[in-house]
Amino acid sequence: MSLLLVLIPIAAVILLNVGFSALMKKLALGVGLLVCLIQIALVLFNSDINLAVTLSFFNFEIDRLSLVMMLSGAIVSAVALIVGFSTTVDKRRAFNFANVTMLCLAGMNGVVMVRDIFSLYVFLEVTAVSSFILIASEKEKDAFEGSFKYLVMSAVATVMMLSSIGILLMYAGDTSFAVVRDAVQGSNSIYVITATAIFMAGLFIKAGLIPFHGWLPDAYSSAPSGVSVLLAGIVTKTTGVYTTIRIVSEIFGFNETIKTVLLVVGIVSIFVGALAALGQKDMKRMLAYSSISQMGYIIIALGTGTELGIAGAIFHLFNHSIFKSQLFVNAAAVEKQTGTRDMDSLSGVSNVMPVTGWTSVVAFLSTAGIPPLSGFWSKLIIIVALWKAGLHGYAAAAILGSLITLAYFLSMQRRVFFGKTKMSGIKEAGLGLILPAILLAIVTLGVGIFFPAFVNTIIIPVSSLF
């Protein structure tokens, strides 16, 4: 199964580009969605969760955390494909979008399955390069700028991680997670400390966390609508946040220095992202800064170093991939129907676009941590984990961050969806934009309502891995 999850998306790209080009362009969306559905089915109906396969120097292994990430990746990729094809009129660009999205999915699947740090780097770069291409795919000035900023920052992260991998290889004699862990944990060597610091800094860049966040708002807001969904929904979470969880938990461990760094970076990201979101006029830029803030919650949960904290981090990672994708779908619908993302130019959109408006309410309430939606439960677990770990100040700060989140999303709802409609001739978005929003809202509500079953069967077993 593990090898299939990398090979199937690549096979789909080969199929789409070998012969019958006119027919393949028509089938690109269907092929892409089929790949995502196959992956969802393989994840949901896979009973053997401890699979491993070695292919040359790639050591693939699947555990429950891998399954959670691959489920999120397939769902968000499917939504991104639908949104991308619904908002792109150029068939050639839509075809290219499907191809590169499949390559990006293959890269993300590799990231969550490999168990050595060099192979991890290889798949991180596959995902990153795919993302650069996707952001600039419509060849607009802002998109080129956003892609270039991401490329430059990612190059810096690459240098950091490769340098760290070189140091760790010389120190441990191997790059597998298990060997490196045995060599570095408990070591006070300056080489280990340096390698740990620069590797984690590289991952923080990939995640767009404070203070390495400069590329993220430009990349998210300037990218085509389908690409924004993919980036915000899963790419940065896989390349940055998930990888941080995996590397810290399985290799570097939770010493006091690492926990302090995670807690400080997490809490600063929460507040800087939230306060920056308050001052935005562009709807997608507000959502971009909101993503920085919400990823901060995942990082402070990881910083507790406890099983409950890791459970909260993983649960919020999944929830955020769903409700943030939904918000970017809603932003795509508003932009397509009104021609603008300037929130001060919009008002009363819910009066003529009720599905878009009310699914947005579901997503923002979940983001702010309002019961019974999924975001409430993951934030509650995070706050309880902080409190039980004796981090009372961080727990109080996390609650305050949620209040700021509620404030900027209420501002967005008031300026965009509520009140008297300013524009005329607006109608509800097409099925390609409202269907993904409805499905994601159902997931958000369903996970919230059936929270005990979801946590007991999926999240707690994942956190117990570490």
Three-state DSSP string of 366-406: HHHCCCCCHHHHHHHHHHHHHHHCCCHHHHHHHHHHHHHHH
Say whether pLDDT at 454 is over 80: no
Say whether pLDDT at 460 is over 70: no
pLDDT band at 89 (very low <50, low <70, confident <90, very high): low
pLDDT tens digits for range 172-209: 888 888 888 888 877 788 888 898 899 999 999 998 89
Round to whole Å and give the CA distance between 300 and 405: 16
pLDDT score for 54: 47
Q: Which of 170-174, 329-333, 449-453 has the lowest mean pLDDT?
A: 449-453
- Peptide bond between residue 354 and the one before it cis (omega within 30 degrees of 0): no
Mean pLDDT of 98-117: 91
Say whether pLDDT at 49 is over 60: no
Say whether pLDDT at 51 is over 70: no
Q: Euclidean distance between the first and final Cα of the chain, in Å?
A: 23
pLDDT score for 58: 66
Average pLDDT, whole number, for the chain? 86
